[in-house]
Amino acid sequence: MSFWAGKKILITGGAGFLGSHLVTELAMRGVTLSQLRVPRSRDLDLRKWEGCVEAVRDQDLVIHLAAKVGGIGFNRNNPATLFYDNAIMGIQLIEAARLEGVEKCVIVGTVCAYPKFTPVPFSEDDLWNGYPEETNAPYGLAKKMLLVQSQAYRRQYGFSSIYLLPVNLYGPGDNFDPESSHVIPALIRKFVEAVDEGRNSVEVWGTGAASREFIYVKDAARGIAMATEQYDGSEPVNIGAGMEIRISDLVKLIAELTGFSGKIIWDATKPDGQPRRCLDVARAEREFGFRARKEFAEGLAETIQWFQARKSRQ
């Protein structure tokens, strides 16, 4: 708690999925609302230099979560937007933070920065050993450039900036919009609606052969808070759960938890994305003692229940 005492903290994207859980996590660590600046995109456009300058003014810490994101379909349809928006926001924000004299800048990157064929589990040391999976490469590379900037600013200016690589998030409060949602909320919505409408089949993208790792959003928020408090190294750090599940098994589990007993139809004309994703999480545990806590099936059930309750109120 002494680390946070009296500090003014900017959280970009603080009203979003991960950001709202980070705000709650910081409150548990003694941070008051008066210490926080959580700008909304409608009020401050971080794609504009003036917006970044205004955002960091008088701040001691900057935690950069704001990002333009989406699932495979959204990435395929909006590669230029995803590259430009994510690169320009981060590059300008880090520079503005340096000029303002911010004590520490925490950059939250993405697992999409890893090469398409990275040895599993993904080690931070393999981050530059290949090109990212094509469907999300513009997004992944835009966020990856912020690591280059973070390390360059540390070398030239002595600027304290750290870079974290969270794996796919899930949990209550996720984005369930079918146009832009990631795999877990997209699947949950499909199966919940199929049950509600009495349908006997659900169509799912891909072959089911790919695998993914997922971290419960509250665990991710705790990991970011711990890194902010305790880590000040130049090397990137994975934030993950250290687990891996095939998409086919994920689909079966969601079907079971939502009570769907019909047929699952795989559309193999749609992309699987990166073949495998599972992080080596040893560095986070070694450097600042972080380990994920939430058991996956339990977290998934909580996420489904949250969506069902929200849907019933609509």
Which residues are catalytic, by number?
A: 139
**Where is 266: in which H helix or E strand?**
strand 263-267
Residue 119: CB atoms within 10 Å: 11
H-helix segments, the chain: 17-28, 49-56, 72-77, 79-100, 137-157, 183-197, 217-230, 247-258, 282-288, 296-313
The two structure tokens encoding residue 230: 């305790």
End-to-end CA distance of the chain: 39
Phi, psi of 39, rounded to the nearest 5 degrees: -70, 145
Strand, helix or coil for residue 205? strand
Q: How many CB atoms lie within 10 A of CB 106?
A: 22
In three-state form (DSSP H/G/I as H, E/B as E, the rest C), the secondary structure along 92-119 is HHHHHHHHHCCCEEEEECCHHHCECCCC
The residue among 227, 217, 292 whose CA lies nearest residue 61 is 227
Closest CA to 51 of 7, 12, 81: 12
